[in-house]
Amino acid sequence: MIYKLKKEFLQEYIDDLIKNYEVWGPKKIGNDVIFSKLEKGSEFTDERTILGPKNFIYPPREKIGEIDDKEVIVIGVKSCDLLGYRMLDDVLGIDPSYAERRKRVHFLNFVCTEPCQYGFCTTFSGPRLMEYEMQFTDIGNYYVIECNNKNLIGKRFEEGGENEIKALEIIMSDFYKKMPPLDVKDLDKKISWNDPKYAEFAKRCISCGACNFACPTCFCFDTYDDNGLYREWDSCILSGFTRMAGNINPRPTLDLRLRQRFMHKLKFHYENFSYYLCTGCGRCIETCPVRIDIRDFIRGV
Amino acid sequence: MRSMIPVKSRIIDIYKETDDIKTFIVEKTIDEDPVPGQFYEIYVRDAGEIPISIASWNDGLIFSVKRVGAVTEKLHKLVKGDYIGLRGPYGNGFPEHRRFTVLIAGGIGLPPARSYIEYWLSKGAKDMQLLYGARTPSDIVYKKLLDYWSNYIDVQITVDRGDSTWDGNVGVVTTIFNRIKNKDADFLIIGPEIMMKFSIIELKKMGVSDDNIYLSMERRMKCGFGICGHCNIGRYYVCKDGPVFRYSTIKDIPEAIH
């Protein structure tokens, strides 16, 4: 169903949500915008955060066997992040504890109407998603709201129709003009094991793993014991990622690890799931201290 | 068992095989039966989890573990009656026995080979041959079993370095390939990748096709069912698409045999 909501009523809508749910959203704290628990609707901003809210469905560190059972609404997630979480679902969804937590988190995504500095989401699906619980697009005086969850319909929502769909299409066509998609046709077949870019990137990369942690689609984790068994996000860029007992390491050098990162996203995952493990969010470019740019890599293939 | 939560299992018995290898018989607390070549994630408290191949099973699960890292070090210190955590069985296991099969096992590769030999012997299959390479005579595991198996199948043993007690072959496992009884066979290779590499070279010289060579691969498998991302070989996950691969499936992947 399609609705519209006068922009002035968004705060009130969030206030109403807060009455029934724990609600998290981007909030300005000092100079930063951070996903925070919202006490009132006026705290909400639709500005972009540096990190997406992946931790709600996939905590950076968790004790295995312990899950939080509260229902949470996360409003203000960007479409590129939410699309990434759907990809996480395809991999992690077979784990019962992930699946259990996942169904308790409701993401209400906001569609960007202006390109961001590093994003290239039009390459994959663009900012307006086909699958969502509730999707907000700012069309000026109103938000157009595409809704698949009746329980979250607000009292000020007005029924929308063709005019709203038309407004969305105009905004999207404008967005695509400003952010022309990269050519990724047959990228999975063209990408090479021997691309000189791996070694070139390896000269600059400082193995910090920020790209992995900022990525909405990176799912790799490690397990370790710390008075109980924990699982923690892991990074394929780190030298210990594939190291086995006896110091045997199938990927001993950084160029091989960077190769794995790019090939996993743009070849192996495609071969297994028929889509690239990338949403064009640009977070890996933005957080990389040496500006390794996946767009450059894609253009070079 | 697609879950990260280990099932508590008691150690029923422990045998010392060699200076650094022990065999653990563990209570079978998971209903699902393994197939030969599969593995379990073994959790040792205050150490962590590691993937270990099943060597044998009946009422209990039998694992032979070499002391080589932090978790196995701690596991070796446990005693009868202690508890470990188990998850599994994971992986595809060896292909079904369909014709003459040569098992090439190096070092701690013998326990997974044992799962195959015992299983198919119990089904009446005797068209198998075992080529087993150990570092030294004192590194040979399952000495009694090796004797017992040689009543039914051909067992060939070699050591890298001999000693005064040893009157058998000295040399790496490929030095006994001339004793292979049937080249029109399935070849299962279980051991370090360097051993796989040289075994494949020799088998190719003998005219064995890539489709008939199977490799039991090892990677840093943390989950066991394809979600932790540690064990990629190209598009494949060793934990769920392997650990046993046809050589023809992975031979063109540059990091498969490194």
DSSP assignment string, chain A? -EEEEEGGGHHHHHHHHHHHSEEEEEEEETTEEEEEE-SSGGGB--PPPSS-SGGGTS-SEEETT------EEEEEEEHHHHHHHHHHHHHHTTSHHHHHHHTTEEEEEEE-SS--SS--GGGTT-SS-SS-SEEEEE-SSEEEEEES-GGG--TT-EE--HHHHHHHHHHHHHHHHHSPPP--TTHHHH--TT-THHHHHHHH-----HHHHH-SS---EEEEESSSEEEEE--TTSGGGS-BTTTB-SS-SHHHHHHHHHHIIIIIHHHHHSS-S-----HHHHH-TT---HHHHHHH-
How many structural domains does chain A have? 2
Strands A61-63, A229-233: parallel, antiparallel or unpaired by DSSP? Answer: antiparallel
Of B2, B47, B69, the CB nearest to A95: B2
Q: Give the position of tokens 């563990």.
A: B26
Q: Check whether residue B72 and residue B159 sit in a common domain.
A: no
Name the B residues in 6-25 with CB < 8 Å from any A CB. 6
B167: contact with A, CB 8 A cutoff? no
- Residue finishing a domain among B67, B90, B113: B90
- Does B246 have pLDDT greater than 90? yes
- Residue finishing a domain among A161, A178, A195: A178
Q: Check whether residue A167 and residue A216 sit in a common domain.
A: no
A103, burial (CB in 10 Å: exposed 0-12, middle 13-18, buried 19+):
exposed
Among A120, A262, A269, CA closest to A191: A262
Residues B9-13: what's their mean pLDDT?
98
Q: Check whether residue B140 and residue B204 sit in a common domain.
A: yes
Q: Check whether residue B83 and residue B108 sit in a common domain.
A: no
Which residues in chain A touch residue B230, judged by CB atoms under 8 angstroms apart?
220, 222, 234, 241-242
Q: Check whether residue A164 and residue A265 sit in a common domain.
A: no
* CA–CA dist A158, A122 (Å, integer): 29
Please give the ipTM for the structure prediction: 0.93
Residue pLDDT, tens place only, B158-181: 999 999 999 999 999 999 999 999
pLDDT at B228: 97
* CA–CA dist B169, B136 (Å, integer): 11
Helix (H, G, I), strand (E, B) or coil at B107: helix
Residues B228 and A222 sit within 8 Å (Cβ to Cβ): yes
* CA–CA dist A262, A275 (Å, integer): 14
Q: Check whether residue B159 and residue B232 sit in a common domain.
A: yes
* CA–CA dist B71, B84 (Å, integer): 11
Among B62, B61, B72, B58, CA closest to B21: B72
Residues B191 and B228 sit within 8 Å (Cβ to Cβ): no
- Residue finishing a domain among B90, B119, B147: B90
Q: Check whether residue B134 and residue B44 sit in a common domain.
A: no
- Does B200 have pLDDT greater than 80? yes
Q: Check whether residue A9 and residue A152 sit in a common domain.
A: yes
Residue B61 sits in a domain of what CATH number?
2.40.30.10
Q: Check whether residue B12 and residue B50 sit in a common domain.
A: yes
B25 CA: distance to closest CA in chain A (Å): 22
* CA–CA dist A214, A183 (Å, integer): 24
Across the interface, whether the CB atoms of A246 and B69 are under 8 A apart is answered yes
Residues A237 and A288 sit within 8 Å (Cβ to Cβ): no
A267: contact with B, CB 8 A cutoff? yes
DSSP assignment letter at B232: E
How many structural domains does chain B have? 2
Q: Is residue B64 part of a domain?
A: yes
Q: Check whether residue A174 and residue A194 sit in a common domain.
A: no
Residues A14 and A41 sit within 8 Å (Cβ to Cβ): yes
pLDDT at B59: 84
Q: Check whether residue B196 and residue B150 sit in a common domain.
A: yes
The pair of three-digit structure tokens given for residue B132, joined into one six-digit string: 């087993």
- Residue finishing a domain among B28, B60, B90: B90
Domain that holds residue B54: 7-90
- DSSP-assigned beta bridge partners for residue B128: B101
Q: Is residue B159 part of a domain?
A: yes
Q: Check whether residue B60 and residue B83 sit in a common domain.
A: yes
B79: contact with A, CB 8 A cutoff? no
Q: Check whether residue A72 and residue A114 sit in a common domain.
A: yes
* CA–CA dist B223, B48 (Å, integer): 12
Domain that holds residue A120: 2-178
Determine which of B52, B218, B249, B258 to mutate to test the interface with A (most A C-beta atoms within 10 Å): B258
Determine which of A268, A269, A271 to mutate to test the interface with B (most B C-beta atoms within 10 Å): A268
* CA–CA dist A139, A1 (Å, integer): 17
Across the interface, whether the CB atoms of B220 and A234 are under 8 A apart is answered no
Residues B22 and B16 sit within 8 Å (Cβ to Cβ): yes
Q: Check whether residue A197 and residue A165 sit in a common domain.
A: no
- Does B258 have pLDDT greater than 70? no
Across the interface, whether the CB atoms of A245 and B50 are under 8 A apart is answered yes
Q: Check whether residue B164 and residue B67 sit in a common domain.
A: no
Crossing angle (nearest 10°) for helices A197-204 and A254-263: 120
Which residues in chain B touch residue A264, judged by CB atoms under 8 angstroms apart?
229, 232
Which residues in chain A touch residue B46, judged by CB atoms under 8 angstroms apart?
225, 227
A76: alpha, beta or left? (left if phi > 0; alpha if psi -120 to 50) = left
Q: What is the DSSP string of B67-86?
A: --SHHHHHHHH--TT-EEEE
Q: Check whether residue B82 and residue B192 sit in a common domain.
A: no
H or E segment to which residue B204 belongs: helix B193-205
Name the residue in chain B with its Cα closest to that of A243.
Answer: B220
Of A222, A225, A245, the CB nearest to B72: A245
Of B4, B85, B227, the CB nearest to A219: B227
B172 alpha carbon, distance to own chain's centre: 18
- Residue finishing a domain among A178, A195, A222: A178
Q: Check whether residue A6 and residue A130 sit in a common domain.
A: yes
Residues B187 and B203 sit within 8 Å (Cβ to Cβ): yes
* CA–CA dist A108, B102 (Å, integer): 58
* CA–CA dist B141, B90 (Å, integer): 24
Across the interface, whether the CB atoms of B228 and A220 are under 8 A apart is answered yes
Q: Check whether residue A159 and residue A206 sit in a common domain.
A: no
Q: Is residue B1 part of a domain?
A: no
pTM of the model: 0.94
**Confidence band (pLDDT; 50, 70, 90) for B252?**
very high
Q: Give the position of tokens 């090796």.
A: B146
Strands B169-170, B154-159: parallel, antiparallel or unpaired by DSSP? Answer: parallel
Q: Check whether residue B106 and residue B80 sit in a common domain.
A: no
Across the interface, whether the CB atoms of A94 and B222 are under 8 A apart is answered no
Q: Check whether residue A19 and residue A106 sit in a common domain.
A: yes
Q: What burial letters (b/e) apply to A12-47, b meaning 16+ CB within 10 Å?
A: bbbbbbbeebebbbbbeeeeebebeebeebebbebe
Q: Is residue B96 part of a domain?
A: no
Q: Check whether residue A272 and residue A212 sit in a common domain.
A: yes
Helix (H, G, I), strand (E, B) or coil at B116: helix
Q: Check whether residue A128 and residue A204 sit in a common domain.
A: no
Q: Check whether residue B150 and residue B238 sit in a common domain.
A: yes
Among B58, B52, B65, B37, CA closest to B6: B52
Which residues in chain A touch residue B47, judged by CB atoms under 8 angstroms apart?
225
A224 CA: distance to closest CA in chain B (Å): 5
Q: Check whether residue A197 and residue A57 sit in a common domain.
A: no
Residue pLDDT, tens place only, B37-86: 999 999 999 999 999 999 999 889 999 999 999 999 999 999 999 999 99
Across the interface, whether the CB atoms of A220 and B230 are under 8 A apart is answered yes
* CA–CA dist B110, B116 (Å, integer): 10
- Residue finishing a domain among A130, A156, A178: A178
Across the interface, whether the CB atoms of A97 and B4 are under 8 A apart is answered yes
Name the B residues in 239-258 with CB < 8 Å from any A CB. 254-255, 258
Q: Is residue B30 part of a domain?
A: yes
Low-confidence stretches of chain A (pLDDT beneath 70): none
